[in-house]
């Protein structure tokens, strides 16, 4: 969450940011709730002070009438304090829940807009392939070469699940190891993270585990949910901790399964592997000093570009508009790889994103460090997708298909796969 002490002093700026993000947040109602919360807490403090004063008076010499009055007042205070502490606790929970709906401040350089079409392409790398035959999409390729089975997965698990088969299994493992080797070269500590996180961690990271708009699968009755990304488990790793400034930046990379409800996701751009309920992803995560987060954000993007340039895929870099940032991000860059099977003539599709969330997540999770003066400060937290394996699979299958029906393997992946081509089946 943002610094709640600034709700009044930066009211207009916060309200404009909410509007620019195309979010519905009643800022004035939250401020009013905060004022009520403060008033009730002050009343509770006054009642506790009076209770202490009564207790102090009871220790002295008193006549029976005065003592009886004080005893009666003490009973009334006890009852009233219990009531007002309950009210204060309820108001505090309501206020913090409402405050978490206020998005992070946005970088002034982020394009202002309501949806992805308002984002800005800031860089193009490589040229989309030109085929001398009609290319197939990855769903057709997967079925034709016996690499992906959507039909059986639908029967076993439901829509938007899939089986990978044969060479596709080895190809996914190759992409995974190729990306890990690049990230490790940059000094990241590797993790395989849990697939489950507590709801307070999800809330702290900025994922809503409840409600119709939630993209998260909750595990009923457990207070936990399946993670949608290792950002959640890597971001929760140091929750409630005070980090040593000398250790910053802390660079972590986590491999995890990712589970997303994807409610309402439909259409040709969501078909096949592009938008599914379960996939695997290698995530990068950095905890750093506030003054260095912009630098590390560019660094995460450079690693993502290194990975996809190595795969020989044409891509573009997107500076994400305010309406598509999500609540935690201060600024976000996406890499969209060329996918020949999207639309009539091919289109770019997102394969990675990297976000600078500044201190927004750290405030909720209480992750801090001591500055040179010994004062506690909040770290800045950043995340970046090294590779989303299913979408990278889409790009490779579609871009590397050949006229004879086979699929070539990108040169960088051949040592990991152990083969250079997925042969055609006739």
CA dist., res. 372 & res. 53, Å (int): 42
Euclidean distance between the first and the last CA atom of the chain, given in angstroms as a whole number: 57
Q: Residue 270 catalytic?
A: no
Pairing of strands 189-192, 250-259: parallel
CA dist., res. 15 & res. 12, Å (int): 5
Backbone dihedral region for residue 312 (phi beyond 0: left; psi -120 to 50: alpha; all else: beta): left
Of 21, 100, 260, 331, catalytic: 260
Reading the block at residue 3, the tokens are 């610094």
Three-state secondary structure call for residue 254? strand
Residue pair 98/33 in contact by the 8 Å Cβ criterion:
yes
Q: Residue 157 catalytic?
A: no
Q: Residue 10 catalytic?
A: no
At 296, give phi and psi (nearest 5°): -70, -25
Alpha helices in 196-342 (DSSP H): 199-205, 230-235, 293-310
Residues 6+ apart with CB under 8 A from 218: 199, 209, 210, 224, 225, 226
CA dist., res. 212 & res. 265, Å (int): 14
Of 350, 355, 363, 390, catalytic: 350
Residues 6+ apart with CB under 8 A from 303: 182, 183, 186, 284, 384, 386
Of 21, 37, 100, 275, catalytic: 275
Q: Residue 291 catalytic?
A: no
Of 176, 283, 391, 398, catalytic: 391
With CA atoms as reference, report the closest residue to 388 among 176, 191, 190, 235. 176
Burial class (CB in 10 A: 0-12, 13-18, 19+), 122: exposed
Q: Residue 350 catalytic?
A: yes
CA dist., res. 122 & res. 189, Å (int): 30
CA dist., res. 180 & res. 377, Å (int): 32
Give the active site residues.
Answer: 260, 275, 350, 353, 391
């Amino acid at each position: 969450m943002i610094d709640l002490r600034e709700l009044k002093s930066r009211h207009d700026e916060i309200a404009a940011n909410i509007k620019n993000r195309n979010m519905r947040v009643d800022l004035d109602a939250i401020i009013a709730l905060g004022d009520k919360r403060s008033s009730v807490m002050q009343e509770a403090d006054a009642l506790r002070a009076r209770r202490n004063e009564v207790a102090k008076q009871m220790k002295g010499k008193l006549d029976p009438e005065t003592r009886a009055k004080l005893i009666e007042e003490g009973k009334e205070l006890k009852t009233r304090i219990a009531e007002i502490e309950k009210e204060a606790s309820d108001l505090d929970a309501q206020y913090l829940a409402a405050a978490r709906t206020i998005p992070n401040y946005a970088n002034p350089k982020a394009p202002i807009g309501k949806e992805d079409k308002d984002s800005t392409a800031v860089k193009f790398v490589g040229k989309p392939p030109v085929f001398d035959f009609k290319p197939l999409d990855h769903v057709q390729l997967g079925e034709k070469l016996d690499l992906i089975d959507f039909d059986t997965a639908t029967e076993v698990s439901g829509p938007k699940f899939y089986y990978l088969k044969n060479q596709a299994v080895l190809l996914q493992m190759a992409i995974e190891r190729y990306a890990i080797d690049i990230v490790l070269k940059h000094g990241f500590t590797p993790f395989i993270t849990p697939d489950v996180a507590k709801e307070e961690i999800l809330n702290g990271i900025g994922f809503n585990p409840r409600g119709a708009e939630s993209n998260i699968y909750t595990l009923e009755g457990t207070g936990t949910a399946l993670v949608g990304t290792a950002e959640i488990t890597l971001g929760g790793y140091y929750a409630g901790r005070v980090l040593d400034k000398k250790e910053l930046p802390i660079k972590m990379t986590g491999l995890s399964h990712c589970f997303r409800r994807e409610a309402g996701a439909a259409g040709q751009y969501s078909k096949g592997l592009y938008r599914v309920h379960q996939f695997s992803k290698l995530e990068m995560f950095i905890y750093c000093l506030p003054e260095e987060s912009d630098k590390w954000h560019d660094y995460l993007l450079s690693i993502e570009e290194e990975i996809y340039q190595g795969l020989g895929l044409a891509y573009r870099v997107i500076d994400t508009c305010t309406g598509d940032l999500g609540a935690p991000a201060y600024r976000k860059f996406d890499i969209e790889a060329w996918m020949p099977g999207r639309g009539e003539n091919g289109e770019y599709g997102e394969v990675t994103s990297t976000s600078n969330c500044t201190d927004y997540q750290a405030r909720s999770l209480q992750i801090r460090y001591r500055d040179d003066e010994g004062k506690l400060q909040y770290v800045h937290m950043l995340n970046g997708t090294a590779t989303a394996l299913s979408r990278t699979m889409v790009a490779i299958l579609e871009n590397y298909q050949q006229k004879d029906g086979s699929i070539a393997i990108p040169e960088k992946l051949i040592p990991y796969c152990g083969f250079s081509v997925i042969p055609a089946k006739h």
